[in-house]
Amino acid sequence: MREQHEPQNAFVDRLESRIVGEVRRRNQFADGPRWPLQSRLKLITAAVALALVSMGVGGAVVAAAYKAQDNQRRDLVAALYELQLNLAKRNLAAAAEAKQAADRRVATGLATQVEAAEAYNKVLEAEAQIRSVELQLQEVRLTGREPLNAISSPLVSGHDFVGERLRNDMTVSKAALSLEQKRLQDAKTRVEIGMANALDMAVAETRVKELESGLRAIERKLQIRQRFLAGTITSAQADLMVLEAEAEQRLEALKPKRELAIAQLDQVRQRVQAGGAQQIEFAEAKLKVQTLETELMKAELELAIVRQKLSGK
């Protein structure tokens, strides 16, 4: 006789059948389709290759976009300098025409040699301007950017554009100095024959001294540039030396200007005392002296600061 809670044989058989079926079903889902190891490696390799190709294509597209942008920027900057070059050529044509007219007036006695020299100087200035713009345009086409004018700028494809522009500026300064020397000689002649006073000659002398100091500054910059390119000084030293040269040039130019302003102030004072000038003219002349003295003090301070930096103190 069986116990009340003893399972029947049919129930046990059905339960066993269901459990075995469930286990088999789960094992089928758990195992799933299996890839051979070699196939999986090929799949990974292909995926990596596809990623690399995609990155390469993307990088090439980005590089091409940057290059197109650089070319566009270069063309735009070059176009601006080409416009400046055309204007400079027009100025040269006008200056050449004015020189021819001045030469004709000199030949007929209607103009002086100084006036002819002034017209010739305008031609030289226009020619130098053309040369300067041509150098700038050449640098733009090589680099795709604005020209660099710092003394410590690097060479561009082995070309020293900075030095070339300095030498070009020197030709203009020399021509201007030659013209002012002619004017000074003319002023001396007029003073000697009583057609001008000493103050007129002092004005011409001041202008000559100013141009001489400017010419010396350019020569010093060229020397600094050569030392930098030779590697005997650093870029920081070169830049400081340029600041020193410019500060010295300002001092050299301001000192004779101040002396001239003082002489002009004395002349105005005498005219005021004689009733030939008003107090406002004296005040203006006095203010000019004070302004130049202030500029001198500023230039001296700037020079002292630069020299202190150069000495490393």
pLDDT in tens, 52-73: 655 665 555 444 544 556 778 8
Question: Which of the two residues, 107 and 37, has the higher pLDDT score?
Answer: 107
How far apart CA 187 and CA 112 sit, in angstroms, is 13
How far apart CA 70 and CA 85 sit, in angstroms, is 22
Instruction: Show the tokens assigned to 304.
Output: 């002292």
Q: Which of 157, 168, 133, 158 is nearest to 147 (CA)?
A: 133
Question: Which of the two residues, 280 and 41, has the higher pLDDT score?
Answer: 280
Q: Would you state the pLDDT for residue 147? A: 95
As a whole number, mean pLDDT of residues 195-211 equals 93
Give residue 19's pLDDT band: very low, low, confident or very high (50, 70, 90).
low
Q: Count of residues for the chain?
A: 313
Overall pTM > 0.85: no
Q: Would you state the pLDDT for residue 114? A: 87
As a whole number, mean pLDDT of residues 134-157 equals 95
How far apart CA 65 and CA 71 sit, in angstroms, is 10
Q: Which of 75, 62, 175, 64 is nearest to 129 (CA)?
A: 175
Q: Which of 96, 83, 143 is nearest to 122 (CA)?
A: 96
Give residue 81's pLDDT band: very low, low, confident or very high (50, 70, 90).
very high
Q: Count CA atoms closer than 13 A to 207's CA, side-chain side.
A: 18
pLDDT at 239 over 90: yes
Per-position b or e across 157-174, b if 16+ CB within 10 A of its CB = eeebbbbbbbebbbebbe
Amino acid at 84: Q
Q: CA 193, 199, 202, 203: dihedral to nearest 10 degrees?
A: -110
Q: Which of 166, 100, 156 is nearest to 128 (CA)?
A: 166
How far apart CA 255 and CA 295 sit, in angstroms, is 10
Q: Would you state the pLDDT for residue 5? A: 45
